Amino acid sequence: MIPWLTIAIALPAIGAVAVWALARAQAPAADTAQRRRSEAATGGGTDTITEVRPAGPAAVGAENAKRAAFGFSLATLAVVVAMALRFDTGAGGLQFEQTHEWIPRFGVHYAVGVDGIALVLILLSAVLVPLVMLAAWREHDDREDGGAGYFALILALQAMMVGVFAAADVFLFYVFFEAMLIPVYFMIGRYGRGEQRARAAVKFLLYSLVGGLIMLVAVIGVYVVGGTFLWTELAGPGGALAGIETELAVWLFLGFFIAFAIKAPMWPVHTWLPDAAQASRPGTAVLLVGVLDKVGTYGMLRYCLELFPSAVSAFVWPVVALSLVSIVYGAILAIGQSDMMRLIAYTSVSHFGFITLGIFALTEQAQAGAALYMVNHGFATGALFLVVGFLIARRGSAQIADYGGVQKVAPQLAGVFLVAGLAGLALPGLAPFVSEFLVLVGVYAFNPVAAVVAVIGVVLAALYILWMFQRTMTGPTPEKLSGLKDLNLREKWAVGPLLALLIVFGLYPQPLLDAIDPAVERTVQIGTEDASATDGATAEEGGEG
C-alpha cells in the first residue's frame, strides 16, 4: 500500500531542507556582493551595510531555490490529488491509515489517517501553497537571500499543516499543532512588513503557546484516563473515553477547546489575528487565515466533539453565544478599518463565528456547512489577500485612503478584487454561499433566534466588502495612481485558480460534500446521542427529586 500521507508530509519537509541548503550555499556570494556595493557607496568604508537585491550568482541561486520550492509544492499537490481520487466517499472512518510505534515507553505512535473533512483541508493547503509562492515570487527580492528562506519556511509549514490534519494520535497532533508556530513566527517576524512585525510575531507566539500549554495538560489527562494516545481507540461510543465521568470530560473538553478557540480565533481571544495579518506579507496571511486557523475549528470537530461527547451538552449554548458575538463583532469592526489587511482579518473573525456556530448547532446540515465553509473561506479569503497584496506591491500601502479609481487604470485587477470580495460576502453562485446557507438552515433547525442573529453578519458583510471596493476601485483616479499597472501573467496564474474554484464549487459543491458528509454524520450521531442521554439522565434525577 502506498503511504500517501507520509509522502505528502515528507515531500515538503525534504523540500524545505533542500531549499534552505540552496539559500545558505548562496549566502556568502550575496554577502560579498552586498559588502562591495556598500563599500563603493561609502568610499571604501564598511561601517554602513545596506540590504540590496542579490546580483550575479547570488540572484541565480535565489531563483533556483525558489524554483525548487515551487517544484516541491507542485509535487505535493500531485500526491494529494492522487490520494483524493482514491478516497472512498462511501466508507466511514479513517482511510490511508498507517500506525507505527514512535515512543513505545509513553505509548506514542506515528499514526496518520484522514476522513473526508481532513482530506478537503489537506487539499486546501496543497492548492494554496504553490499559488502563494507564485504571488510572493518578487516580494523578497530586496533581501540578501532573495526570498529563498521565506519559500523554505512555506514548505516547512506545509509539511506541518498536512501532518496536523492527518494525525491519528493525540500526542502526534499536539506535536504538529505546536511545531507550526515556528515557521509562522519567522514568516511574520523576519519576513513581514512594517515596524510592528516583531511585536505581532511575539503576540501570535504567546497566544498560541498559552493555548498549547493548556491543551498539553488535557492531552496528558487523556492518556491517564484512556491509556492510549491513538484517536481510533479513544473516540466514539466504544472508545476508551466513553465511560469517563461527565465532570472530568468537561475539564478535558475545556483544555482542548481553549487552545482551538485561540487558534480559530474566536472572540474574545482573537486580538492576535488583526495584528498578525497587518504585519504579515499577503502570502503569509493567506496561509495563516486560510489554513492554519482552520486547525482550530477542525480540532473542535475531531477532538472536542468526538473524544468528549458527554461534555458537549454543557458547552453548546456558551459556544453558540460566543459564535454569535464573533459574527457581529468581527463584522462591525471590519467596517471601521482603514487598513485592508486588518479589515480582511476582522472579516475572518466573523466568518469563523459562522463555522463554530455550525459545529455546535449539532445538526447535520449545519456541521456539513461548517466543514464546507472551512474550505470555501480558504479560497475566498486567499484570493482577497492576494489581490490586496498586488495593490500593496504597486502602491506600497495597505491604507484604503491611498487608493481610488483603480478600475480605470487596472480593470483586470479591479475585476478580480470584485469577484473575491463578492465571494467574501457569500454571493449566490460563488462557493461560500453554499456553505453559509447550509449553516444558517441547520442553525435555524437548532434555534431560530440564533439563525436570525447570524443573518446580521450576512448583512454587515455586504457593507464592509462593497464599501471597501467603492473606496479603492471606483471614483476619480488620483494622479499618484495614474501609472498603476494591471495584473501581469504571474499574478493571473496566482489568483486565477482560486477564482475558478470559487465558481466551480459555487455551482457544483457536491464532490466536497460527498467527502465531508460521512464524517459529519458520525460526529452528529455521537453528539446528539450523548446529549440526549445526558438530558434524559438529568430529567430522571429531577423527577426522582
pLDDT digits (tens, 9 = 90+) for 492-534: 999 999 999 999 999 999 999 988 988 888 777 765 555 444 4
Domain count, the chain: 1
The pLDDT of residue 26: 62
Classify the C-alpha dihedral 142-144-146-151 as positive or negative: negative
All three cell numbers of 228, joined, read 492510549
pLDDT attached to residue 217? 93
In residues, how long is the chain?
545
DSSP H helices in 101-196: 116-135, 148-166, 170-179, 181-189
Rounded to an integer, the average pLDDT of 145-154 is 84
> Per the domain annotation, does 544 fall within a domain?
no
Q: What is the three-class DSSP state of 202?
A: helix
Q: What is the per-residue pLDDT across 226-279, written as a single tens digit (0 to 9) for each?
A: 888 898 888 877 777 777 888 888 899 999 999 999 988 888 888 888 989 888
Q: What is the mean pLDDT of the chain?
A: 85
pLDDT of residue 59: 58
Cis previous bond, 274, omega within 30: no
pLDDT value, residue 530: 53
Is pLDDT of 382 > 70? yes
CA dihedral 509, 514, 516, 520 (to 10 degrees): 120
In a domain, 294, yes or no: yes
The whole-number average pLDDT for the span 78-84 is 95
Residue 481 pLDDT > 90: no
Specify if 545 maps to a domain: no
Q: Which three cell numbers stand for residue 256?
A: 482542548
Cα gap 464→442, rounded to integer Å: 25
Please report which confidence band the pLDDT of residue 52 belongs to, taking 50, 70 and 90 as the band edges. Answer: very low
Per the domain annotation, does 220 fall within a domain? yes
Asked if residue 377 is part of any domain, the answer here is yes
Q: Residue 13 above 80 pLDDT?
A: yes
The answer to whether 407 and 473 have CB atoms below 8 angstroms apart is yes
- 8 A C-beta contact, residue 370 and residue 359: yes
Torsion, Cα 307 318 202 280, to 10 degrees, reads: 100
The C-alpha cell at 26 is 548562496
Asked if the model's pLDDT at residue 23 lies above 90, the reply is no
Residue 541 has pLDDT above 50, yes or no: no
- pLDDT digits over 163-209, tens only? 999 999 999 999 999 999 999 999 998 888 878 888 999 999 999 99
How open is the CA angle 15-78-139, to the nearest 5 degrees?
50
Answer whether 139's CB lies under 8 Å from 305's CB: no
Quick check: is 541 in a domain? Answer: no
Coil vs helix vs strand at 47 = coil
Calpha distance 420→406 (Å, rounded): 16
β partners of residue 111: 99
540 domain-assigned: no
Domain around 152: 4-38+48-535
Q: What is the pLDDT of residue 141?
A: 66
